[in-house]
Chains A and B, each alone.
Chain A
């Protein structure tokens, strides 16, 4: 085969391969979807995080505002310390309420932020004081059985 046609075919092959990679990165992976240039970190303590994982989304009014970056156990208070990276564009009042919520019945868990009314805003490294732990199915069932037992004993 002639040199130029050979080069053309190989060029097309390489371009198609790199195109497939870019398509995988942008359309299939998360490279094109959420890319926050500037974030600030906020801590929150939860008594129980349930199935929350690093990289879980943080939403306020359903809008993605950040990601969970780190989850550790604070051995001084024996509570989970969750580090959240929030988008610099979104500022939240100091008395913001952090809930661990579940999307759908069996869906993944995420943190929902409910802004309060404070005029001061959360700054980098500060702690969200008001939190609500994840709903754990076993606890719910336990409570339900307990209240049923209390009802029948009356």
Chain B
């Protein structure tokens, strides 16, 4: 009994401690970011690894999510005789929620896990210690460029996800089912507000990009330098960042769209 309570307490204290270390890690990253803007080619290299390489999965997933939204939305709206509002439903759903959230989830599992594994292996093969020996700050050289690449590419990926998704909804709704094309676009334009909906979606994806990359980089940096440690850290990256995205999404939605 006592041992169980002790174990629970240990877990909680450990979790709080890790949050503290991760926050310190985040501020260190921000502090040593200067060099990644002076040597922007480092960021470009990471933009290729995390952004460009995630393009295909984002585009394909976005297309199918949009097509499903079109199909399901039509089935529901048909019951109320308001099929013409299909464009509104697809666009608002994607721009406000599904675009940022799905893109962030895919980014966490596609790019975040790769970042953790890469940095964890660098640590296991003592590349990071070697850098410190050469007086190269590993946070400035390895972590900061990856962080900024993630923060820059996340809103772009979310915007692409939404745009491709709306096209997917258009394909199913207008081309296949035959909803009126004019009302599909015009009602969408009347209902979607640039500042309220699109900008808030971008803010969401910026927040998600920051959180996902910080979690991935911290887990990598913090991984025990063994094969088992790296694999555990990669798993934790995907689990923690997925949960963080979904919980933060609820909080952000409650703040942004409560009155609307």
Tell me if A16 counts as interface (CB < 8 A to partner B): yes
For chain B, what secondary structure do more than half of its interface residues adopt (helix, strand, loop), or is it mixed?
Answer: helix
The reply to whether A20 and B185 form a contact with Cβ atoms under 8 Å apart is no
Nearest CB of B to A30, in Å: 6
Stretch at the interface among A7-15, A39-47, A87-95, A134-142: A7-15
Contact of A24 among B45, B95, B153, B185 (CB under 8 A): B95
Assess the A6–B166 pair: CB atoms within 8 A: no
Q: Classify the interface of chain A: helix, strand, loop or mixed.
A: helix
A13 & B156 in contact (Cβ 8 Å cutoff): yes
Chain B residue at minimum C-beta to C-beta distance from A14: B156
B239 to chain A, nearest CB (A): 28
B150 interface hit (Cβ, 8 Å): no
Minimum CB–CB distance from A72 to chain B (whole Å) comes to 16
- CB pair A17–B159 under 8 Å, yes or no, is yes
- Count A-side interface residues using an 8 Å CB cutoff: 27
Report A109-134 residues with CB < 8 Å from chain B CB: none
Interface footprint category on B: 20 to 34
Residue B86 is within 8 A (CB to CB) of chain A in the complex = no
Measuring CB to CB, which residues of chain A are less than 8 angstroms from any residue of chain B? 1, 3, 6-7, 9-10, 12-14, 16-18, 20-21, 23-25, 27-33, 55, 57, 106
Enumerate the 5 nearest inter-chain pairs by beta-carbon distance, A residue then B residue, closest first: A17-B156, A20-B163, A29-B194, A20-B159, A20-B160
Cα–Cα distance between A15 and B193 once the two chains are bound (Å): 23
B155 on interface, CB distance cutoff 8 Å? yes
A-chain residues with CB within 8 Å of residue B108 when the two chains form the complex: none
Binds A, one of B48-56, B212-220, B250-258: B48-56
Is there contact, CB below 8 Å, between A6 and B45? yes
